[in-house]
């Protein structure tokens, strides 16, 4: 499914996402544990690209974020469109990570 690691240069525990179907689970897990919609995913490359992915039965809402968490661009995609998104391309290249979620309490 995924394994915990520290992404290069970051002190936040990150999970490497290894299967496309894990994204739906990870988004739901984050929403349950944090009470906030969606989950942050990071594409680890020369530039650290940050996305927030929100899941619904109708498909995915993918928000590209800047380094302050502000939305730069939003895409609404059906499940069969999402498989061609750069988030999935990064996953297939072993470059997709998400911060570990801990229950507040």
Q: Is the residue at 104 inside a domain?
A: no
Pair 41, 97: CB distance under 8 Å:
yes
- The whole-number pLDDT of residue 50 equals 96
> Collapsing DSSP states into helix, strand and coil, what is residue 23?
helix
CB-based contacts of 73, cutoff 8 Å, min separation 6: 63, 64
Q: Is the residue at 68 inside a domain?
A: yes
Pair 83, 91: CB distance under 8 Å:
no
- The whole-number pLDDT of residue 11 equals 66
Q: Is the residue at 87 inside a domain?
A: yes
In angstroms, the Cα distances linking 5 to 11, 62, 72 are: 10, 24, 27
Task: Summarize pLDDT for 14-66 with one digit per residue, the tens.
Answer: 999 999 989 999 999 999 999 999 999 999 988 889 999 998 888 899 999 99
Domain total in the chain:
1
Q: Is the residue at 74 inside a domain?
A: yes
Domain that holds residue 11: 2-99
* Confidence check: pLDDT of 12 > 90: no
Q: Is the residue at 105 inside a domain?
A: no
Task: Summarize pLDDT for 71-105 with one digit per residue, the tens.
Answer: 999 999 998 899 899 999 999 999 999 999 875 55
Q: Is the residue at 73 inside a domain?
A: yes
- The whole-number pLDDT of residue 103 equals 52
């Amino acid at each position: 499914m995924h394994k915990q690691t520290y992404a290069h240069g970051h002190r936040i525990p990150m999970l490497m996402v290894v299967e496309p179907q894990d994204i739906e689970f990870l988004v739901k897990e984050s929403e349950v544990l944090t009470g906030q919609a969606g989950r942050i995913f990071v594409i680890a490359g020369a530039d650290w690209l940050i996305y927030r992915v929100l899941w619904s039965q109708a498909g995915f809402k993918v928000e590209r974020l800047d380094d302050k968490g502000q939305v730069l661009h939003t895409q609404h995609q059906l499940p069969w469109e999402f498989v061609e998104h750069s988030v999935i391309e990064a996953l297939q290249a072993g470059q997709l990570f998400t911060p570990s979620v801990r229950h507040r309490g």
